[in-house]
Amino acid sequence: MTAARVLSEVRRASGLSQRALASRAKITQPALAAIETAEHDTRGSTLERVVAAAGYRLFALPTTAHAAADWAEEIYQELRSARRSEAVAFRALIGLSDDLSSAARDLRVALCVAPPPPCGDTRFDAAVAAVVEYHLERDGLPIPAWVNDATRSLPEPWVATPGLEDGEVPPAFARHGVLLAASELASV
């Protein structure tokens, strides 16, 4: 993970503009933009200060799995790319499921604590929350508050798996309005 990626995730998740975050971190907006676009690779102390100004802290976890916020950023980048591939974005959603299903219980919670930045598509925002709730709820683990935010549920259901049979949609997905068969969560 690069400084640019970390900064982009926390800034977007906090809902701050570059100008607002730069002001809080006491750096210029162009300097912040240079870090966020990877034009400048910053020092760790500067990154830590900017991340703290967004209301976050940097931590190292003993895992190679990606956090829910990382996968949401991946989906966001794909959906705003020139190819705008929903299939690739959906594959990232399955990547999140794979990482959570293979992580130890304590790490699973840690990978989901930080609110993911918006994906740029409310269907995927709801699906990220559904995947997190599904994997944490199965083992009776605490579910972060961001999962239940109203923006993480769809007013009209998204049929992500055509031709669903009764009972194929896990309750966590149904609550978020994402009609996805549990069998789709298995990696291919």
Tens of pLDDT along 11-30? 888 889 999 999 999 999 99
Q: Indicate the number of domains in the chain.
A: 2
Give me the domain span that covers residue 32. 3-53
Which pLDDT band holds residue 187 (cuts at 50, 70, 90)? low
Q: Is residue 155 domain-shared with residue 113, that is, in the same domain?
A: yes
Q: What is the CATH number of the domain that holds 30?
A: 1.10.260.40
User: Do 41 and 8 fall within a single domain?
Assistant: yes
Residue 63 lies in a domain: no
* Tens digit of each residue's pLDDT (9 = 90 or more) over 43-91: 888 888 998 998 888 888 889 999 999 999 999 999 998 888 899 999 9
Residue 76 lies in a domain: yes
Token pair 């809902």 is at which residue?
15
Is the same domain home to 99 and 28?
Answer: no
124 found inside a domain:
yes
Examine the domain organization and report whether 83 and 48 are in the same domain: no
Please, which residues have CB within 8 angstroms of residue 56's CB and are 6 or more apart in sequence? Answer: 10, 13, 14, 114
Residue 61 counted as domain residue: no
User: Is 38 in the same domain as 95?
Assistant: no
> Own/partner pairs for 100-104, CB < 8 Å, 24+ apart?
100/65, 100/68, 100/131, 100/132, 100/135, 100/136, 101/135, 101/185, 102/65, 103/63, 103/65
The model carries a pTM of: 0.83
Q: Is the same domain home to 42 and 84?
A: no
User: Do 104 and 31 reside in the same domain of the chain?
Assistant: no
Closest to 64 measured CA to CA, from 7, 119, 104: 104
